[in-house]
Amino acid sequence: MDLCNLSVIKSVMADAGITFRKDFGQNFLTNRIIPEDIADNCADSSERMILEIGPGIGCLTQELAMRYKKVVAVEIDKGLIPVLSKTLADFDNITVINEDIMKVDIAALIAEHSEGMPVSVCANLPYYITTPILMHLLESGVKFSTITVMVQNEVAARLAAKPGSSDYGAITAVLAYYGSVRKLFKVSAGCFIPAPKVDSAVVRIDLYDKCPYDIKDETLFRGCIRAAFEMRRKTLENALCAGLGKFTKEQIAAAISRCGFDSKIRGERLSCEDFANLSNALFEMNKTAKI
């Protein structure tokens, strides 16, 4: 069954008595080349488990199941569960779970289903909740090999942006701590039903086994990034002073200088490694102050 065919999509949904739910970010793919391409490019070897978020009626799920050993798909919409049990009936390597991914204990789910195999994530993400889902996955502590997601094109640009560019933001710097990000391809709005207002793009994150940056205090590292981007028009010094609270202006100025940055630099020019160095300098200062 071609689950990207418009008549098929409409008829399986009509048979189940359901319509597209805007509140769940439901924009289903209507061009089968796209799920094929995503499935081809989301991981390097077939002996693995794929965690899919939001299978919809299962167009990407079936492509994943054809290429990888096992697929676990988490779908929030209970109206789609009976649909999926029909559209994916031919596969014995798919488990569908009716849950909100944000409420799922990711580490426990992986421990239960992965059978010790490497795990990758692959999803056409609901756009209303892209960043929270990414952070939920990254902060789960699970060592995913890759995370491949379709997101709005402008979000893809932000995820893969270079420091100093207009697209660079807090999420870019945080993501660079977990892995290397690349945009795979763009997908036009016309490839979905209902068609969203903007184009999309597929992004692949290859996660590091171990972060290349030595970070002494992760909370402080994240705090620096958050503060720098919450007030990105201010200088880094002023933004950190207002956002971090616990350091004096002199301490922040000293840390900035110790890292070799210009005193008037803005946070948006700093790479992930720069934020690591800066938070380490502040950490050392805090330690010295306590002694």
Residues 79 and 56: beta-carbon distance below 8 Å: no
Q: Distance (Å, rounded) from C-alpha 71 to C-alpha 92?
A: 10
- Tokens 């109206």, residue located: 79
Task: Specify the stretch interacting with ligand SAM by CB under 6 A; choose among 107-115, 124-132, 228-236, 253-261.
Answer: 124-132
Task: Specify the stretch interacting with ligand SAM by CB under 6 A; choose among 73-81, 112-120, 154-162, 252-260.
Answer: 73-81
Q: Write the CA distances from 76 to 10, 19, 61, 193, 260, integer angstroms.
A: 20, 15, 15, 19, 48
Q: Distance (Å, rounded) from C-alpha 263 to C-alpha 236?
A: 8
Q: Distance (Å, rounded) from C-alpha 264 to C-alpha 266?
A: 7
Task: Specify the stretch interacting with ligand SAM by CB under 6 A; choose among 23-31, 82-90, 238-246, 273-281.
Answer: 23-31
Tokens of 281: 């300098």
Contact pick of 29, 83, 142, 202 for ligand SAM (by CB under 6 A)? 29
Task: Specify the stretch interacting with ligand SAM by CB under 6 A; choose among 39-47, 49-57, 63-71, 216-224.
Answer: 49-57
**63 contributes a contact to ligand SAM by CB under 6 A:** no
Task: Specify the stretch interacting with ligand SAM by CB under 6 A; choose among 56-64, 172-180, 212-220, 271-279.
Answer: 56-64
Task: Specify the stretch interacting with ligand SAM by CB under 6 A; choose among 40-48, 95-103, 156-164, 183-191.
Answer: 95-103
Residue 76's Cβ-count burial label (10 Å; 0-12, 13-18, 19+) is buried
* Alpha helices, DSSP H, located in the chain: 6-16, 33-41, 59-67, 81-87, 106-113, 130-138, 153-159, 170-178, 218-230, 236-244, 249-258, 272-290
Residues 150 and 25: beta-carbon distance below 8 Å: no
Contact pick of 122, 126, 201, 202 for ligand SAM (by CB under 6 A)? 126
* x/- letters, 155..194, toward ligand SAM (CB under 6 A): ----------------------------------------
- CB closer to ligand SAM out of 108 and 289: 108
**100 contributes a contact to ligand SAM by CB under 6 A:** yes
Q: Distance (Å, rounded) from C-alpha 247 to C-alpha 271?
A: 22
**26 contributes a contact to ligand SAM by CB under 6 A:** yes
**223 contributes a contact to ligand SAM by CB under 6 A:** no
Compute how many other C-beta atoms are within 10 angstroms of the C-beta atom of residue 39.
23
**268 contributes a contact to ligand SAM by CB under 6 A:** no
Residue nearest to ligand SAM (CB): 54
Contact pick of 13, 43, 53, 134 for ligand SAM (by CB under 6 A)? 53
- CB closer to ligand SAM out of 14 and 242: 14
Q: Nearest approach, Cβ of 253 to ligand SAM (angstroms)?
A: 43
Tokens of 143: 């060592």
Contact pick of 39, 71, 74, 281 for ligand SAM (by CB under 6 A)? 74
| Backbone dihedral angles phi then psi of residue 73, each to the nearest 5 degrees | -115, 125
Q: Distance (Å, rounded) from C-alpha 33 to C-alpha 10?
A: 19
**Binding residues for ligand SAM (CB under 6 A):** 24-29, 53-56, 59-60, 74-77, 100-102, 124, 126, 129
